[in-house]
Amino acid sequence: MSVSIRSMGVFSKGIGLRILLSYIPPSIIAWSFFYLYISGMIGSVNSGVSTYILFGLSAIAIGCGIVLWLFMTIVPPLHNISEVIRAMKLGDDNVDIPYLDNADEIGEIAHSIAILRRTMTEKSQIERQHSEQKIAMISAELELAKIKRAHAELLIQVAEAQRMRSLATLAGGVAHEINTPLQFIGDNVSFIKSWIPRLLYVVEAARTSLETGDWREVGERAKAIKFDFAARELPAAAELALDGIAKISSIVQAIKEFSFPSGKTAQPFNLNRAIETTCIVTRNQWKHVAELDLRLDPGLPPLTGIEGEINQVLVNLIMNAAQAIEEKGGGNMGRIVVTTHGHENSVVVSVSDTGCGISQENIDHLFELFFTTKAPGKGTGQGLAITKSIVLRHGGTITVESTPGEGSRFQVVLPVAGAAAAQEDCS
């Protein structure tokens, strides 16, 4: 909307014309009496009355002139200025303000309105800029939330892919771990099987002797058997075979627990048992380079969390320790120590190794996705990033201490009651 001075002037002249017409009749009468009085035509009238009438009509005529002067000099500017204010109220910042050059009160009013318009314009611009900035901030926050959500979903997908890859890597080692007890089970069962015909040969003679009453054959056959050797070796062979079966059973159970955990919902589980299972599953990855020492707190409370994800954290930390020891070399067996203990409302798991250690420069980037210090083909840079992501989702923290050339220590602190309880404590 734009209001011009011309349109406002036309509107004010229309009003002035109506007011001017209303004052014409008394003005004509007043000036008529004044003319008659001057010409002596009303001299015969009582001089007091005529004077009173003359002055009254003269006052009316003068009043009409003053009103006409006021209207022609003051009312149009005020009306025009009011139209400007009305236009500004309707949001038109481009309307022209008249009478800015006047040196009288009208000019001062116009100047004040100009200042008011400038102030309102600046305020409007500030408010508009503030609104635009607020909208931009909200858009940025929404975009950031979208990116974070996409990043979290990516980490979940990468974690699941790494878990499957870990299972594939561990499968060969588990097969080897099962194959070793199977071999000595087979050897001991074969040994026991070789003695069965000899024992049955004596039993057969004994059955015949029961019918004939001649026990000489039984004695001869019994003397041919190395009884002391059989009495010592056969039970031992059976015991070794049973031990091998038990070991295979424990490996299979560990694989089952590792591969088919509690699901995707947080539930209480035995963290010490999860560590023992992980050590069994990963044994072929560390047994050639290190000795593994478990120092588990027997009074550790059940941990509420997603067991499968915590298993993945343990696998990553133990395999990372084994790889660090292997990278250090030296020909001597390294050492991996896994400890647990309770602390207030949390459980603490630490994995220490005597590997090559990590420089401070690399520690600063250690948990970044796809960051790795290993040679091409040796690492993907996903393990520790996923580990930290899982720990954070469980409301915990992970820290690392390392001395190059001496080893590293990773410590994970997890709330016993789970991530939800940790968030409530923070709030």
The segment with the largest mean pLDDT, out of 25-39, 176-190, 245-259, 276-290, is: 276-290
**Structure-token pair, residue 199:** 């024992």
| Cα dist from 206 to 197, 220, 222, whole Å | 14, 11, 10
**Structure-token pair, residue 388:** 């930290």
Model confidence at 202, in pLDDT bands (50, 70, 90)?
confident
User: What are phi and psi for residue 314, nearest 5 degrees?
Assistant: -65, -45
Q: How far apart are CA 236 and CA 184, in angstroms?
A: 12
| Full-model pTM | 0.54
Q: How far apart are CA 406 and CA 403, in angstroms?
A: 5
Amino acid code (one letter) for 421: A
DSSP tag of 332? S
Q: How far apart are CA 302 and CA 266, in angstroms?
A: 12
Residue tagged 């190395």 (tokens): 226
Q: How far apart are CA 416 and CA 414, in angstroms?
A: 6
Q: How far apart are CA 70 and CA 64, in angstroms?
A: 10
What integer pLDDT is reported at residue 8 of this predicted model? 41
Count how many Cα atoms sit within 13 Å of the Cα of residue 126 in the half-sphere of its side chain: 6
The segment with the largest mean pLDDT, out of 67-81, 203-217, 333-347, is: 333-347
Cβ(277)–Cβ(310) under 8 Å? no
Task: Give the model confidence (pLDDT) of 27-36 as tens digits.
Answer: 555 556 555 5
Task: Give the model confidence (pLDDT) of 75-115 as tens digits.
Answer: 666 666 777 777 666 666 666 666 556 666 666 776 777 77
**Helix extents (H) in 40-104:** 47-73, 75-89
**Structure-token pair, residue 261:** 């955990």
In this structure, the strands spanning 334-343 and 346-353 are antiparallel
Q: Which residues are CB-contacts of 98 (< 8 A; sequence separation ≥ 6)?
A: 5, 77, 80, 81, 84, 110
Q: How far apart are CA 72 and CA 136, in angstroms?
A: 53
Average pLDDT over the chain, rounded to whole?
A: 76
Higher-scoring residue by pLDDT: 256, 375: 256
pLDDT at 13 over 60: no
Domains, the chain, ordered by start: 5-98 (no CATH), 263-427 (3.30.565.10)
What integer pLDDT is reported at residue 3 of this predicted model? 40
Q: How far apart are CA 333 and CA 145, in angstroms?
A: 47
The three state secondary structure string of 152-176 is HHHHHHHHHHHHHHHHHHHHHHHHH
Model confidence at 354, in pLDDT bands (50, 70, 90)?
very high
> What 3-state DSSP class applies to 377?
coil
pLDDT at 44 over 90: no
What integer pLDDT is reported at residue 55 of this predicted model? 65
The segment with the largest mean pLDDT, out of 2-11, 42-51, 168-177, is: 168-177
What integer pLDDT is reported at residue 5 of this predicted model? 39
Q: How far apart are CA 185 and CA 190, in angstroms?
A: 8
User: What are phi and psi for residue 304, nearest 5 degrees?
Assistant: -90, 120
What integer pLDDT is reported at residue 195 of this predicted model? 86
Least confident of 128-142, 167-181, 267-281, 301-315: 167-181
What integer pLDDT is reported at residue 349 of this predicted model? 96
pLDDT at 336 over 60: yes
| Cα dist from 329 to 113, 324, 372, whole Å | 86, 9, 19
User: What are phi and psi for residue 372, nearest 5 degrees?
Assistant: -150, 145
Model confidence at 426, in pLDDT bands (50, 70, 90)?
very low
Nearest-CA neighbor of 260 among 277, 284, 276?
277
Mean pLDDT throughout 379-402? 84
Least confident of 136-145, 151-160, 285-294, 316-325: 151-160
Phi-psi group of 332: left, alpha or beta (phi > 0 → left; psi -120 to 50 → alpha; rest → beta)? beta
